[in-house]
Amino acid sequence: MEIIFATHNQNKLLEVQALMPSHIKLISLKDLGFEEDIPETSGTIAGNAIQKVEFLKDRFKQPIFADDTGLLVEALNGEPGVYSARYAGEQKNSDDNMDLLLKKLTDNNHRAARFVTAIALNLGHCQVLFEGICEGTILRERKGTKGFGYDPIFQPNGFEKSFAEMSLTEKGTISHRAKALLKLIDYLKEVN
């Protein structure tokens, strides 16, 4: 089965490809020569995932899925949330985003956070939504060099290291994206 993964983020593409069964071939937007920015103007994470699929489904006329992820920090009333990628500005710079988040939490000992991923799938005339959540803590400093986004400052509950200190395989067993993706994969098995 071939399915389009609607992302321009190559790190995310690698993470998702590592979790996909071999019988599912991912086609990236880069493979399709699609360079346009996809709108993400919804007020919710799920809404952004749906918006991406809606934006692309009529252009390519084949199965397609898109995701959106947000980091929600309790002490900041859910910030950065839907603005996670551009928390420190439209340049979408991960280092700037982490710097701003750490600055806002400088003197705060309440550092509970969660990653939430929503995946919207368009399969023919059917649209389905899947969600994955990973609870954790915001660290006081960056740890590790793997991963992307907020991975160096997010430590999942029950672990002594950040996402950025984990291998792709280890992260792939517990992450928010992996949880949502496994629901998608199970659904695809049922409909095929």
| Active site (catalytic) residues | 68
- Backbone phi and psi for residue 89, each to the nearest 5 degrees, phi listed first: 140, 165
Q: How far apart are CA 131 and CA 181, in angstroms?
A: 8
- Backbone phi and psi for residue 72, each to the nearest 5 degrees, phi listed first: -115, 115
**The pair of three-digit structure tokens given for residue 93, joined into one six-digit string:** 């710079």
At position 166, the amino acid (one-letter code) is: M
Question: Of 167, 190, 181, 39, whose CA–CA distance to 117 is shortest?
Answer: 181
